[in-house]
Structures are given as structure tokens and as C-alpha cells.
Amino acid sequence: MVERRERARRTTMNDVARVAGVSSASVSYALTGAPGVSDELRERIRAIANELGYRPSLVAQGLKTGRARSIGLLLADISNPFYTEIAASAVAAAGDEGYEVLISHVGLGQDTDGDDDGEREAARLAAVARAHIDRYTSGLMLTSLLASDRPLLEELRRTHVPVVQLYRRVPGEPSDWVGIDDHAAAADVMNHLIATGRRHIVVLGGQRSSYASTARATGFVDTLRAAGLQPANPDQGLWAGISRRSGYERAHELFAGDTRIDAVACGNDLIALGVLDACRDAGRAVPDDVAVTGIDDMSFASVGPLQLTTVTVPREQIGRRGVQLLLRRIDGNSGPPVEEVLPHRLRVRDTA
């Protein structure tokens, strides 16, 4: 497939220079605000550029400077509203600083078993990251990290591409991160479940190779153990893909095999919504027969009759802080990695 159609020629810096009767260098100085031209000339050049509808080519600029003045935001799955809410705030924050946020949908994390080793997923994430790097992105915001992404992170570090990890992270990775205390968040949920009398509690943790997921799963299980309980499902059954479908399918099986289950603690809201679907199908009343909980508190976790009990997280702040941290790195700050733990809060609604 070859691109044929020719584009109308853009107005270039040379065009402006010619009309103004100056060199392109002066135009560059005048427009970027660099010293080197008189105020008077600067004004004249600005006026002409404006009149000609001149807009600098970010591509030429990028080739010259090595930076595109854009931030790449890589979302595992753009149809997970939790991440798009983070994205919206990141866009706003970056815009204030003159950066464009270019969002990519990586298409990950939806496997039903949540149990793959992440090889294929890592390859796909790396490919998308490179697509941004080859366009000279100024920096990358990553949300979909698995343990298997460590080589990619190392590659990014070697090539000095600024990176911030949002929410999820690869442990031990020396780049900035902003998120919540996953273990504590899960513990809060589990304590609530136990306090309200649940005893046959299933844990549906998320992806086995995701640090956030394992931290949550551990938080669930530790809390159960501390109360002298066990997950109602076997250890190998703790994992699920990060998707509604996965939550649905896992719950569906589980319900078929065990009628005593009285609660399902899910690693995130999306999984919990799938469990709710399964409850409806199986005719299990929520919360009377079975309690269901999530983590994230994405906006669609509470709509009209749907009122999921979950953990609320400062999404707006995650996006905003993430951009701030990244911009510091883009500006050359090379201090030690920042790990910012934001507050979370249990939100008891109608499902538990």
C-alpha cells in the first residue's frame, strides 16, 4: 500500500522568511521567543507568519531536536473506563504545558484465564511503545505492565526515554510510579466482607503476572487467613483476565460447582461487573445470596440500580501527577525514582 495523493504544500518557515525579507533563522528566533531579533522585527515576523497561516512542522522540528513534544499514553484496553478517566485528566494536565497526549490502545489483559506468562502481551506492548519512540515521543506513560515487561522497561531506560508507570508497575523498576497501596485496598474490602458475616469467599484476583493484581490477591488472602479463613476457591483459581467476560466465565463455573459461595472479592471493577452478570444469570440475589466487590470505582460501577461496593481511587490525581512526574523527567531531572502512593477509600454501596 503506497501513499500517492500529494498534499497541498504547507506554508514553511522559508515562505515566511521570504515575505519578511529575512532569513529563516530570524523567523525561528522570532517565533520561538529566542533572543537574537529586535522586538520590532519579531513583531513584524509574527504578523506575517500569522497572516500566512504558518504553522511550524512538528516533524521537521522533531527531526532536528529529537523530540516531538508529545506524550504517549499506552492503555492496556481503551474500553476499560477506569483508565480512560485517568487519560482524560492526563490530557488536561499535559495540555497546560503544551504537550499533546497521544493515546494508544494496546489491546491486552483480556484473556480469560489471566494465566498466560505474558510473552505475547509483552511483545505487543513493546511494539506499541516502539511505534511511539520511532515517532520521537517525549515520554511514555504506561498503565499495562506485567512482570514480563521488564526487558522493555530496560530498553527504555537504556535509550533514555522518560517513563512513568501509572497504577500498575513492575517491582524494582527504577522509574517513577504513581498508584495506590493495592495490598491495603484489598485488605479493606476483605475486612468489610468478613465483618458483614461472609464466610465462603471466592477471590478473583486479576492477572497473575501483574504486580497490582498479585498485591491485591495477597491482600485478600492474607486478610482471610488472619481471620482464620481460606479462599473458597483453590489457589490456581485465584486468577482471571482483566475483563467482564473473564469475570463472568469464572463466576459461572464457580457458581455451578459450589452453592455455598456467599461472596466474590474481585481484583477490579471490570471483573466484578462480569460476576454481577453471572449472578443475574444464575439467579443469585446480590447481596443477599452473594456479595460482590470490586476495586477502582470507575464511573460505571455505580449507575442507577447498579451500585457496586468497591474501593475508590483518585483517578484525576493519578493522571495529573503522572504527567507532572513525566514532565520533570523530560526536562532532564534525573533524581531517584519517585513512588507516589495515593489514598484509597472503601466505598460500601449495594453489592456487599
Say which entry of DNA, a copy of itself, none residue 41 contacts (CB below 5 to 8 A, set by partner kind).
DNA
By CB under 8 A, is residue 324 in contact with a copy of itself? no
The total of other beta-carbon atoms located within 10 Å of residue 147's CB is: 16
By CB under 7 A, is residue 304 in contact with DNA? no
Binding test (CB under 8 A) with a copy of itself, winner from 19, 24, 44, 107: 107
Are 241 and 112 in contact, with CB atoms under 8 Å apart?
yes
Q: How far apart are the first and last CA of the chain?
A: 55
Binding span for DNA by CB under 7 A among 32-40, 238-246, 257-265, 310-318:
32-40
By CB under 8 A, is residue 55 in contact with a copy of itself? yes
Report the amino acid identity of residue 342: L
Closest of 269, 348, 265 to residue 301, by C-alpha: 269
Say which entry of DNA, a copy of itself, none residue 236 contacts (CB below 5 to 8 A, set by partner kind).
none
Are 176 and 332 in contact, with CB atoms under 8 Å apart?
no
By CB under 7 A, is residue 10 in contact with DNA? yes
By CB under 7 A, is residue 24 in contact with DNA? yes
Smallest separation (angstroms) from a copy of itself to the CB of 204? 15
Looking only at residues 224 through 253 of this chain, which bind a copy of itself when binding is defined by CB under 8 A? Answer: 244
By CB under 7 A, is residue 64 in contact with DNA? yes
E-assigned strand segments in 61-193: 70-75, 100-105, 139-142, 163-166, 176-180
φ/ψ of residue 219, rounded to 5: -60, -45
| Total interface residues for a copy of itself by CB under 8 A | 73
Residues 6+ apart with CB under 8 A from 270: 80, 82, 242, 243, 244, 247, 294, 296, 298
Say which entry of DNA, a copy of itself, none residue 303 contacts (CB below 5 to 8 A, set by partner kind).
a copy of itself
Are 24 and 39 in contact, with CB atoms under 8 Å apart?
no
By CB under 7 A, is residue 36 in contact with DNA? yes
Are 103 and 154 in contact, with CB atoms under 8 Å apart?
no
Say which entry of DNA, a copy of itself, none residue 28 contacts (CB below 5 to 8 A, set by partner kind).
DNA
Binding test (CB under 7 A) with DNA, winner from 18, 19, 52, 61: 61
Looking only at residues 84 through 103 of this chain, which bind a copy of itself when binding is defined by CB under 8 A? Answer: 84-85, 87-88, 91-92, 97-98, 100-103
Render the burial of 67-81: b for 16+ CB within 10 Å, e for the rest.
ebbbbbbbbbbeebb
* Alpha carbons 293 and 177: distance in angstroms, whole number: 26
Looking only at residues 261 through 320 of this chain, which bind a copy of itself when binding is defined by CB under 8 A? Answer: 273, 276-277, 279-280, 286, 299-300, 303-306
By CB under 7 A, is residue 282 in contact with DNA? no
By CB under 7 A, is residue 130 in contact with DNA? no
By CB under 8 A, is residue 123 in contact with a copy of itself? no
Are 128 and 141 in contact, with CB atoms under 8 Å apart?
no
Smallest separation (angstroms) from a copy of itself to the CB of 237? 22
Q: In what order do the strands lie in the sheet with 201-204?
A: 201-204, 263-266, 291-293
Smallest separation (angstroms) from a copy of itself to the CB of 211? 25
Smallest separation (angstroms) from a copy of itself to the CB of 116? 19
Element housing 266 (H / E): strand 263-266
Per CB under 7 A, residues contacting DNA are: 9-10, 12-14, 21-29, 31-32, 34-38, 40-41, 54, 56-57, 60-61, 63-65
